[in-house]
Amino acid sequence: MTGKPVKSKSPSPGEPLLPLVKEIRDLVQSARRTAAQNVNTLQVVTNFEIGRRIVEYEQKGSKRAAYGKQTLIELSSRLTEELGRGFSERNLESMRRFYLEYRETVPQIPQTVSAKLPAKTPTETPIMQTVSAKLPAKTPTETPISQTVSDQFIPRFTLSWSHYIVLMNIDNRDERRFYEIESRQNQWSLSELKRQFNSGIYERLALSRDKKGVKALADKGQIIGTPQDVLKDPYVLEFLGLDENTHYSESDLESAIIDKLETFLLELGKGFLFESRQKRFTFDADHFYVDLVFYNRILRCYVLIDLKIGKLTHENLGQMQMYVNYYNREVKLDDENPTIGMILCRTKNDALVNLTLPENANIYASQYQLYLPSKEELKKKLIEWSEIASDTPEAT
């Protein structure tokens, strides 16, 4: 039996172009991201320079506050008329303050940008109009302005202007420096920065450290070297949308975390990778389930999390110890570090934890709360902790 010959299906007219389309699309998207980053950097540098010139102008005249305010009012009016939006009195005051807050940490700026400016002439346009417009014509050996700005300022100004507006509202300079470092290292968006600040992550981390550890937060951000470095108490889970005054189950809590996993990972901190939920393992024909399993790539170990909506009990601790023992003996590789067990509970008893577990158990209990903490209360606790730490002699 013979049939009609099968004709090979010819590709659609556009199919051969798909790889080329993808390459061009990726190229354009990459270029747009780079351009947006360069624009952000140039905006921050320009605003810093505007602030510098405002301060230098004020220092040549009266230092009375009323005089400075009138200067900003008149400057805002003239710049808005010539250049359009973006030069309100409030914005100019932010630029002025930005220079005052960051001039000590960026001492090279007056010598870098201003050194590239030509000498003023009677018909010259004010510097506020643009930084690049003030540069002399390029020569074959001259570095373009975008490269000059990037080379000189990216090590310092790596965030957007909106990030710096938020940071300038943090009065404590150590705390501000911490959020600046963490925003840069973790590439926090503006909303993530606001959320981390509102949840008091600086205070929550500081309260679990000694004096040297608190100083390190301001100098280097959160450094992960031991299991204790990833711990917070409490964990703030307001983003789950659960109401503390209504009934919810541990399953509801777990499902809410999975639904908001990206934000939960942000709350957990650096290096966490999600592996599974309700991870089952069998021992003596009995099945056991770990609520949430993560892996921390910095510590190179598994992190097991059990969720408890009630009061922590010694049975909870014993169960977690069994989970940790199983993972250490059956799951982790020889070159990986010991498994960490973490119990998130509504209320805990530190004395119970210390009494139930051996010192090297690598199991921790932390409270969680479903609302943002009071910043003032956290600051008060940190001040009290600092006073106690100051009265305690350091070990030599």
- Rounded average pLDDT over 52-59: 87
What is the pLDDT at residue 10? Answer: 54
Quote the tokens at residue 368.
């969680």
Residues 159 and 276 in one domain: no
Tell whether 244 is covered by a domain: yes
Q: Rounded to an integer, what distance in angstroms lies between the CA atom of residue 53 and that of residue 134?
A: 14
Residues 263 and 154 in one domain: no
What residue has token string 């990986």? 336
Residues 30 and 158 in one domain: yes
What is the pLDDT at residue 266? Answer: 94
Residues 159 and 239 in one domain: no
Quote the tokens at residue 2.
């013979």
Q: Rounded to an integer, what distance in angstroms lies between the CA atom of residue 292 and that of residue 251?
A: 11
Tell whether 390 is covered by a domain: no
What is the pLDDT at residue 7? Answer: 53
3-state secondary structure of 305: strand
Tell whether 257 is covered by a domain: yes
Q: Which amino acid would we find at residue 145?
A: I
Pairing of strands 340-347, 286-296: unpaired
What is the pLDDT at residue 122? Answer: 43
Among residues 166, 194, 209, the one where a domain terminates is 166
Tell whether 92 is covered by a domain: yes
How many distinct structural domains can be found in the chain? 2
Higher pLDDT, 55 or 245: 55
Tell whether 329 is covered by a domain: yes
- For 357-391, the pLDDT digits (tens) are 888 899 999 999 999 989 888 888 888 887 776 66
Tell whether 386 is covered by a domain: no
3-state secondary structure of 135: coil
Q: Rounded to an integer, what distance in angstroms lies between the CA atom of residue 65 and that of residue 285?
A: 78
Residues 162 and 28 in one domain: yes
Asked if residues 95 and 51 have their Cβ atoms less than 8 Å apart, the reply is: yes
Q: Rounded to an integer, what distance in angstroms lies between the CA atom of residue 260 and that of residue 235?
A: 15
Q: Which of 69-78, 134-143, 252-261 has the lowest mean pLDDT?
A: 134-143
How far is residue 320 from each of residues 31, 74, 113, 126, 193, measured CA to CA in Å? 49, 66, 59, 67, 33
Distance between first and last Cα of the chain: 96
Backbone phi, psi, residue 109, to 5°: -60, -45
Residues 155 and 278 in one domain: no
Q: Rounded to an integer, what distance in angstroms lies between the CA atom of residue 293 and that of residue 301?
A: 11
Residues 159 and 281 in one domain: no
Tell whether 136 is covered by a domain: no
Confidence label for 3 from pLDDT (cuts 50, 70 and 90)? low
| DSSP per-residue string spanning 80-132 | HHHH-SS--HHHHHHHHHHHHHHTTT-TTHHHHTGGGSPPP-TTPPPGGG-SG
Domain of residue 58 covers 24-109+150-166
What is the pLDDT at residue 13? Answer: 55
What stretch of H or E contains 335?
A: none
Q: In what order do the strands lie in the sheet with 272-283?
A: 235-236, 363-369, 340-347, 301-311, 286-296, 272-283
Distance of CA 63 to the CA centre of its chain: 38
Percentage of residues of the chain with pLDDT beyond 90: 49
E-strand spans in the chain? 235-236, 272-283, 286-296, 301-311, 340-347, 363-369
What is the domain-level CATH number for residue 289?
A: 3.40.1350.10
Tell whether 330 is covered by a domain: yes
- For 200-243, the pLDDT digits (tens) are 999 999 887 888 888 899 999 999 999 989 988 899 999 999 98
Tell me what the pLDDT averaged over the chain comes to: 82
Residues 6+ apart with CB under 8 A from 9: none
Q: Rounded to an integer, what distance in angstroms lies between the CA atom of residue 266 and that of residue 268?
A: 5
Pairing of strands 272-283, 286-296: antiparallel
Confidence label for 125 from pLDDT (cuts 50, 70 and 90)? very low
Q: Rounded to an integer, what distance in angstroms lies between the CA atom of residue 325 and that of residue 348?
A: 22
